[in-house]
Amino acid sequence: MPLPDHVTVHQSTQSSHSTKALLLDRSVHMLNFIFLSLCAAMVLYYILWANGLTAENYRIGMLRDQLNRLTETNGSLQAQKSLTEDPVAALQFAQDQHMVQASNISYVFESGNVALQK
C-alpha cells in the first residue's frame, strides 16, 4: 500500500500538471480568438476598400461619359452657331470698327500663323 505522503505528492503533481494544461489551453484559445479577430478585421477592411475603389471607378466612368456627351453637345452647338452667323453682320461689324482688308501679305512662318503686310 502506498504511503499517504506519496499519494499526496502525486495528487499535488497531477493537479499542478492539470492547472498548467488548463492555462495553456486558455492561452491557445485566446491566441486563436485574437488571430481570428485580426483576420476578420482585415477581411472587413479589404471589402470596404474594394467597395470604395469600385465606387470611385464607377464615378470616374460616369464623369467621362458626361464629358463625352458635353463635348458632343458643344461641337453641335458650335456647328449651329457657325451656320447661323450672318456674313453681312460680320461685314458691318468690320466696317464699324474701321477694319481694312489685308492685301499683298507674306507669311513669316510656313504654317501661316503670322503674316506681314507689305
- Going from the C-alpha of 86 to that of each of 49, 77, 83, 92, 99, the distances in angstroms are 57, 16, 8, 10, 18
pLDDT tens track for 1-51: 555 554 444 445 556 667 878 888 888 999 999 999 999 999 999 999 999
Distance of CA 98 to the CA centre of its chain: 55
Share of the chain residues as helix, strand and coil, in percent rounded to the nearest 5: 75, 5, 20
pLDDT tens track for 43-87: 999 999 999 999 999 999 999 999 999 999 999 998 888 877 878
Domain chopping of the chain, boundaries? 4-117
